[in-house]
């Protein structure tokens, strides 16, 4: 019964991680991108965040000359190419290595010095680059600003209104970025500056203070605290409940329960495939996330979701758990009806749920009960479902 299921739409992209700098402002012999932080080399934190993105097609790490083997070891695969003396030269080296890509491919450039990047932020930049051709994470400036004279005294006041700090990753159509680098002046501190010089608007995607660039010695302690806090996962529990009536209209829709087609006289009525079990489970996950419900994510007024396979809804909730750095610990579902009998289909339902959730069957509860002929389920008017989901979630 387990047919392939569609995953949530996510833009395909190629990633370049810049790790060629000498890290001269940090001090010490080891370049900062290779120093241990929260139990692994700084570079590996970014690599793992990118690799967790469903849209990632390929990855290139630009390494210091002479450090290719070391970087390949850190990455666990051959991804390293030699960088140049400046950031711009390093990006150019990556563009040359990726010159086989079509012009409309999406490429994301990220500084290895930002190890706290979240998967959800990477996905947001890739999606924005696909819609707007050029995009970057950025945050509004919160501090007051002064332009400083040569002797270090605070001089001219600078209004922070409409000023944003630009972060990475930055995403572009490959051809657009390659053209900007071919024409660009030396000295640009990031790739959006080069693209903007060509008159291309750059979409700002809200970043976060936690996406810190490890530049000065103190930054290591701040980044390490952020990464360690994320490694502490706290349990969260969400519950879901749903009811669908049997459909008495002439209909060719099948009855679908927990992702499995059940031979039965009547399907359930509903805008989607009316899979009451998956709806309750999906709402339990949205509840654990504290992120609305199935109706806010997939409005029933939207004709795009008509007769939709409810596996799509469930996968969206699963993707949100994963993208936030959490994981599903356990789910438990109760189907409430007089008919059909659930037991003959229970093994198929468990297999389907296990595949959809990417969760071992030992972590899935699936039960059925009647209501002793009482109420609407007892009269055989429809099916109800309850679900509880426990996730482990990085608070803060």
Chain residues binding Mg ion by CB under 5 A are: 242, 279
Task: Give the ranges where the chain is alpha helix by DSSP (H).
Answer: 42-51, 68-75, 87-97, 119-132, 174-183, 191-197, 217-231, 276-289, 294-297, 311-323, 346-357, 375-378
> Which is nearer to Mg ion, 37 or 314 (by Cβ)?
314
CB under 8 Å to 257, separation ≥6 — which residues? 275, 276, 277, 335, 340, 342, 345, 349, 383
* HSE value, Cβ hemisphere, 13 Å, CA-based, for 284: 26
DSSP designation for 9? P
Least gap, CB of 371 to Mg ion (angstroms): 19
Query: Measured from the CB of residue 315, what is the shortest distance to Mg ion in angstroms?
Result: 16
Smallest separation (angstroms) from Mg ion to the CB of 277: 10
Q: How far is the CB of 254 from Mg ion (least distance, A)?
A: 16
45 touches 17 (CB < 8 A): no
Nearest CA-CA partner of 271 in 243, 246, 305: 305
Greatest CA span in the chain, whole angstroms? 86
CA distances (Å), origin 77, targets 43, 59, 68, 73: 14, 10, 11, 7
In the complex, minimum distance from the CB of residue 242 to Mg ion, in angstroms, rounded to a whole number = 4
Task: Give the DSSP H/E element, type plus range, for residue 107.
Answer: strand 106-111
Q: Which is nearer to Mg ion, 279 or 352 (CB)?
A: 279
Question: Closer CB to Mg ion, residue 184 or residue 382?
Answer: 382
Cβ distance to Mg ion smaller for residue 53 or 384? 384
> 71 is written with which tokens?
């970087």
Q: Which is nearer to Mg ion, 127 or 273 (CB)?
A: 273
> Distance between CA atoms of 382 and 271, rounded to whole angstroms?
15
CB of 211 to Mg ion, least distance (A): 37
Cβ(350)–Cβ(364) under 8 Å? yes
Per-state percent for the chain, helix, strand, coil, to nearest 5 = 35, 25, 40
Nearest residue to Mg ion, using CB?
A: 279
Q: Which is nearer to Mg ion, 268 or 321 (CB)?
A: 268
Looking at the Cβ atoms of 67 and 272, the one nearer to Mg ion is: 272
Q: How far is the CB of 365 from Mg ion (least distance, A)?
A: 20
- What CA–CA distance (Å, rounded) separates 216 from 221? 10
Which residue, 246 or 393, has its beta carbon nearer to Mg ion? 246
- Closest by CA to 259, choosing from 172, 320, 331, 208, is 331
- Kindly state the smallest distance separating residue 342's Cβ from Mg ion, in Å: 18
Find how far residue 395's CA is from the centre of its chain: 16
- Closest separation in Å from C-beta 5 to Mg ion: 18
Q: Smaller CB distance to Mg ion: residue 279 or 316?
A: 279
Closer CB to Mg ion, 191 or 275, in the complex: 275
Question: Distances from the Cα of 266 to the Cαs of 271, 295, 377, 381, in angstroms?
Answer: 15, 24, 14, 11
Reduce the DSSP state of residue 387 to 3 states and report it.
strand
Residue 244 beta carbon to Mg ion: minimum distance, rounded to whole angstroms: 6
């Amino acid at each position: 019964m387990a047919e392939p299921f569609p995953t949530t739409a996510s833009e395909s992209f190629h990633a370049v991680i810049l790790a060629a700098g000498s890290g001269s402002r940090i001090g010490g012999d080891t370049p900062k991108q290779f120093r241990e932080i929260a139990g692994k080399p700084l570079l590996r934190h970014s690599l793992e965040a990118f690799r967790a993105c469903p849209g990632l097609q390929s990855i290139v790490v630009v390494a210091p000359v002479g450090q290719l083997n070391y970087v390949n070891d850190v990455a666990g695969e051959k991804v390293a190419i030699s960088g140049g003396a400046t950031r711009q030269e390093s990006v150019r080296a990556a563009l040359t290595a990726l010159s086989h890509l079509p012009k409309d491919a999406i490429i994301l450039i990220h500084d290895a010095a930002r190890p706290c990047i979240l998967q959800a932020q990477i996905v947001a930049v890739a999606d924005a680059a696909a819609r707007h051709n050029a995009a970057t994470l950025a945050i509004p400036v919160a501090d007051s600003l002064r332009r400083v004279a040569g002797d270090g005294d605070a001089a001219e006041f600078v209004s922070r209104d409409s000023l944003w700090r630009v972060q990475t990753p930055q995403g572009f159509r490959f051809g657009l970025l390659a053209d900007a680098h071919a024409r660009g002046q030396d000295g640009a501190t990031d790739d959006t500056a080069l693209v903007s010089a060509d008159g291309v608007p750059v979409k700002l995607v809200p970043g976060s203070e936690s996406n810190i660039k490890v530049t000065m010695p103190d930054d290591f302690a701040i980044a390490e605290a952020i990464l360690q806090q994320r490694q502490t996962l706290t349990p969260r529990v969400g519950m879901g409940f749903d009811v669908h009536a049997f459909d008495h209209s002439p209909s060719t829709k099948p009855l679908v329960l927990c992702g499995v087609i059940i031979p039965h006289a009547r399907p359930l009525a509903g805008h989607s495939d009316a899979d009451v079990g998956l709806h309750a489970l999906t709402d339990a996950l949205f509840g654990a996330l504290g992120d609305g419900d199935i109706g806010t994510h997939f409005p029933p007024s939207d004709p795009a979701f008509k007769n939709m396979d409810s596996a799509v809804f469930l996968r969206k909730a699963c993707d949100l758990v994963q993208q936030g750095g959490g994981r599903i610990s356990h789910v438990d579902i109760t189907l409430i009806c007089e008919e059909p009998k659930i037991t003959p289909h229970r093994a198929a339902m468990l297999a389907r749920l296990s595949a959809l959730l990417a969760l071992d069957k030992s972590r899935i509860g699936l039960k059925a009960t009647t209501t002793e002929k009482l109420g609407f389920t007892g009269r055989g008017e429809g099916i109800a479902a309850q679900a509880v989901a426990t996730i482990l979630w990085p608070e803060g």
